[in-house]
Chain A
Amino acid sequence: MSEATKDATAPAATAGAPPAAGTPFTGRLRRPAPYLWLAGSVLLLLFPFYLDRFWLQAGLFAMAAAIGAIGLNLLTGSTGQLSMGHAFFLAVGAYGYCVLAGESSTENGHALTGLGLPSWLAAVLAVLLAGAAGGLFSPIAGRLSGAYLGIATLALIFIGQHVLFNAGSLTGGFNGRPVPPLSLFGFTFDDAEVVVAAVPFQSSEKLWYLGLAALLAGGLFARGVLRGRPGRALNAIRDHRIAAGVMGVPVARYRAGVFVLSSMYAGLAGVLLALVFQRTVPEYFGMILSLEYLAMIVIGGLGSVAGAVIGAAFVSLLPQVLTHYSDSLPLVSAPGTGGIAPGEASRYLYGAAVVAVVLFLPGGIARLKTPGEKKK
């Protein structure tokens, strides 16, 4: 994926080195890595010139998902706090952006409220809004541990869905609402064609670079957190909560803090998703989405940035790949023509992937590369 991903495999290897006796510090084994990063990032930067809109959109979904998954992995993978409410915070980000940036208008007889703020400001505020929503929930998130928090956050999904369908003037109800394009320093990420090197750039091409930048920034920030003092505290809470407290870590405060941080990542992912979709619809932000995010971090690898990104790419690209090649794949057929629809097929596949990872790769795909296999 992006540079952030490749970069982040190093801490994954360090933090997650399997306890195989006599394997000194696996993190050092990364000699060919710089070349891989370079090749990978050049490739990623060149994609908009060669790929068509379908694949660019798929890639953008994967980037947005990766940002969201990094956030969830901070909470669930690194701190051991289960959250089923991640989709809620994605929705806060996506709808927050629409309400803050959109103009008040009427659509299909619905009056839509919008504050008409500059869209870059709206994007920043939407992320902060998601963080604030996480902050409102954080007294609960600070007190509950593990699976109990998972149950409590389930409530957020139901509340969120209710509000999204019924607060018509804010959310547009069932039909959702259009997403105003983002403009940054006078440059607008919309469908107006800009020709760069004889390639027409539309919203997907432009957003591609925005998505890459956001993912890189998000990945590096999370890596800094995980490698630094807060990361050690979070891991201590996951590994041994009582010992963490005795070591001087204020457990409730850190749990609340990481919940807010993970909500902000979800908010950023929501803004990016909204910009790619160009329309937000309420049913997207349901429980399935939360489960998909959990699947991402389990498949990719709990507790590392690389794991989140790899898992996000796997889970969000799989349906797209299956859709694209549904003609040539056995058993999979285009939606509505009988047989298994690509979306369903991909769900079976990553369901199977989750089981396979849990059974055979406890560290997730991200840890495949780590040498010094543990044989127990």
Chain B
Amino acid sequence: MTTSPAPLTVRDVTVRFAGLTALDTVSFTVEPGSVHAVIGPNGAGKSTTFNVLSGVYRATSGSVHLGATELTGLAPHRIAGLGVARTFQNLALPPHATVAESLMLGRHRLTRAGFVAAGLRLPSATREARRHLERVREIAGFIGLDKELDFPAGALPYGKQKLVELGRALCMEPEVLLLDEPIAGMTADERRRTAAVVAGVRDSLGISIVMVEHDMGVVMRLADAVTVLDFGRRIAGGTPAEVQNDPAVVQAYLGAQE
């Protein structure tokens, strides 16, 4: 997994749904190993951006590159195969599976066992599963879920479920991590913990993180760069301090002064 970190470049991406322009020539670059926040009022196009980055939506025009590799037009599982992982704003966890099984799904792209190997329980498949379960335990420990591994993920409190989502994305050993409102709906304690995990991921693993988040305190604390969207357009960008004082941003959030 130690390819040299590559920047994620979004260039002039436009997404239209039957006449509605959800994204209008949006460009930004996520520097390797940085936390890049995408903020904006509701309906600004943040989730659409994520869906384009992860291949769920196809851009009408424009391009997304990870290093030299073009991501635009690739199927989601191919983009995931290149090391782009994401979490979902509204949880996308299996309702009955345990936390360990949910995390193991994140190992999918790193494992090989197919129908025959798994069905016949070939030694190669068993060994592979054991090895990857080991790594899953490590990651669970890293994000503080080691005690919950055997619980059904659906039975955990909301904040923990969000952590499971984050853990599952981390289990993909990503180069780029897309976090869609990672701390929304969490208790103060869980927020602190998640923010620490995100910071730790950047510092110790060198993963680039793109984050959509409404909690400005966390954005200002964690983000190295911020892109502000409003009505599908990029209205500002820069360091958190620059963005905070940008009149266009203030206007988008608070409305124009009469």
Q: For residue B141, which residues in chain A have a CB less than 8 angstroms away from its CB?
A: none
A249 to B111, CA, bound (A): 11
In the complex, whether B144 has a CB less than 8 A from a CB of chain A is: no
B120–A21 CB distance below 8 A? no
B128 CB contacts on chain A under 8 angstroms:
229
A141-175 interface code vs B (CB 8 A; 1 in, 0 out): 00000000000000000000000000000000000
In the complex, which residues of chain B have a beta carbon less than 8 angstroms from the beta carbon of A24?
A: 150-151
Are B77's CB and A229's CB within 8 A? Answer: no
Q: Closest chain B residue to A232 by CB distance?
A: B105
Number of A-B contacts (CB under 8 A): 120
Query: B247 contacts the other chain (Cβ, under 8 Å)?
Result: no
Chain A stretch 188-233: residues in CB contact (< 8 A) with chain B = 221-222, 224-225, 227-233
Q: Is B118 touching A225 in the complex (CB atoms < 8 A)?
A: yes
Residue total for A at the interface (Cβ-Cβ under 8 A)? 39
B55 surroundings in chain A (CB, below 8 A): 245-246
Q: Is the CB of A14 within 8 A of B98?
A: yes
A356 CA to B223 CA, complexed, in Å = 54
Within 8 A of B (CB), among A238-291: 239-240, 242-243, 245-251, 257-258, 261
Partner pick for B115 among A14, A227, A230, A250, CB 8 A cutoff: A230
Measured CB to CB, the nearest residue on chain A to B169 is: A247
**Is B154 part of the contact surface with A, judged by Cβ < 8 Å?**
yes
A75 to B81, CA, bound (A): 25
Residue A17 interfacial (CB < 8 Å): yes
Residues of A near B205 (CB, < 8 A) are none
Residues of the A chain whose Cβ atoms lie less than 8 Å from the Cβ of B112: 229
The distance from the CB of A16 to the nearest CB of chain B, in whole angstroms, is 5
Q: Tell me whether B154 and A242 are in contact (CB under 8 A).
A: no
Note all chain B residues with C-beta closer than 8 A to A242: 56, 76, 92
Alpha-carbon separation in the docked complex, A21 to B86 (Å): 27
Tell yes or no: A44 within 8 A of B by CB: no
**Chain A, interface SS category:** helix
A186 at the interface (CB under 8 A from B): no
Q: Is the CB of A25 within 8 A of B88?
A: no
Nearest B residue to A235 by beta-carbon distance?
Answer: B94
Check A228–B105 contact: CB distance below 8 A: no
State in angstroms the CA–CA spacing of A105 and B109 once bound together: 53
Q: Is the CB of A245 within 8 A of B76?
A: yes
Q: Could you tell me the distance between the alpha carbons of A230 and B115 in the complex, rounded to whole angstroms?
A: 6
Inter-subunit contact A247/B98 (CB<8 Å): no
B54 and A229 form a contact (CB under 8 A): no
Contacts of B117 in A (CB 8 A): 228
In the complex, A20 has a CB within 8 A of chain B: yes
**Assembly CA distance A20 to B168 (angstroms):** 22
Residue in A22, A229, A239, A246 whose beta carbon sits within 8 Å of that of B129 in the complex:
A229
Across-interface contacts of A258 in B (CB, < 8 A): 115
Q: A82 at the A/B interface (Cβ < 8 Å)?
A: no
18 new A-B contacts, CB < 8 A, other than A236-B94, A243-B92, A246-B54, are A19-B155, A25-B151, A228-B113, A228-B125, A229-B111, A229-B112, A240-B93, A240-B94, A242-B76, A242-B92, A245-B76, A246-B85, A247-B106, A247-B168, A249-B77, A249-B108, A257-B114, A258-B115
**B interface residues, Cβ below 8 angstroms from A:** 54-56, 75-77, 79-81, 85-86, 88, 92-98, 101, 104-109, 111-115, 117-121, 125, 128-129, 150-152, 154-155, 168, 172
Top 3 closest A-B pairs, CB basis?
A: A228-B118, A248-B109, A245-B76
Pairs across A and B, CB under 8 Å, 22 listed: A24-B151, A25-B150, A25-B151, A224-B119, A224-B120, A228-B119, A229-B112, A229-B114, A229-B129, A231-B118, A232-B97, A232-B101, A240-B93, A240-B94, A243-B88, A245-B80, A246-B55, A246-B79, A247-B85, A247-B105, A250-B77, A261-B115
